[in-house]
Structure 1
């Protein structure tokens, strides 16, 4: 069933809990924060680079790249673009969470920008609108709450002018220990209820100069 292969469905994670103790999909994440030129955030552009196995499965599921060279024609890219933005379930936050002193930033629905093949990996870009002043500080995390997909913030990070960032990679050993103490992973809804993915999330701490 195609929906089980799409990243939106995978992040919603309908698989059985015991099979989800470890991630099944791996995504490298890049972010670009765009402003309106007046000190306000306007968009967050998100790049998702999928692992080679998932990329191959997606191409197979769509019946694309029949010669297996991991290259796409213009027509094939046009058919596939937006596959990872389709049918987001109600309440799905797009695996991106941005916290400020004033609360969590609200991001609007995604707009697909591009899809390319790079060294056997599907790489997609989309952007999401946001309307807020550039905050003094932001804590940015990209993760799948159910941890069916593992997202790593190792892509390019473009911050607003006057902002600097410090990326801290997740401590997987510490996360494993924490999760072990949260309940029984064998329970059917454990991974959805506990939202273990946040414990495996990289963290980008952003500091911005105050507006003059």
Structure 2
């Protein structure tokens, strides 16, 4: 998500700029395959934590009854709230990597939104410049680690699979501790450490022959 667009409310709260992360998201990625086993698109679903959901709904003036039930009009207003600005450099916190190559993923189009059990569930679709599926590693992370993603599911055609390998937080914490010892405080504030905490899913597909 593009943090400068939707996190202004959070960062304005007292103490909001303390330890990372501040927002927690469960991510699911549906991978679309075209001819010759090439990835041609992805649909991404983000399930936001309940506190961030509350902040967004209050900030947007939605769900005044605070019962977690939004009208169709309110859902229409909420749809795409996290897709407001996507500059050219923003990767959308999603990475498809195969060897030394990283897939080019297009801008998002909102495909759905709901509030379930007090959490916003928002989906969007993005085109992918055809990219080989076999061996591609899927990661969902915010480089700044302001948002902590948990990759909870990868959906693929039946002939393919992408088991998820969870990140080791203790190992990541140890690496961050090393980094802290190597740089000054000002430099640390600009470091990108989100990849250290990223779950990974590697795609494998059965031969079509």
Same fold (TM over 0.5): yes
- Displacement of 1:160 after TM fit? 3.4
User: 2:139 & 2:18 partners in 1: Cα distance?
Assistant: 21
Mapped partners of 1:118, 1:186: distance in 2: 42
2:6 is aligned to 6
Q: 1:14 to 1:53 in 2, by over 3 A?
A: closer
Partner residue of 2:175? 178
| Runs of 5+ consecutive residues of structure 1 not aligned to the other structure | none
Greater relative contact order, per chain length (Cα 8 Å cut-off, separation 6+): 1
How many residues get paired? 203
CA distance in 1, matches of 2:18, 2:92: 19
Query: What is the TM-score of this pair, normalised by structure 2?
Result: 0.87
Stretch moving more, 98-107 or 131-140: 131-140
Aligned to 1:151: 149
Alignment of 1:46-195 (within 5 A): 46-101=44-99, 103-154=101-152, 156-183=153-180, 187-192=185-190, 194-195=191-192
Change (3 A) 1:20 1:211: farther
Name structure 2 gaps, 5 residues minimum. none
Between stretches 145-154 and 96-105, larger displacement belongs to 96-105
Does residue 203 (structure 1) correspond to residue 200 (structure 2)? The answer is: yes
Contact between 2:133 and 2:203, CA under 8 Å: does it hold in 1?
no
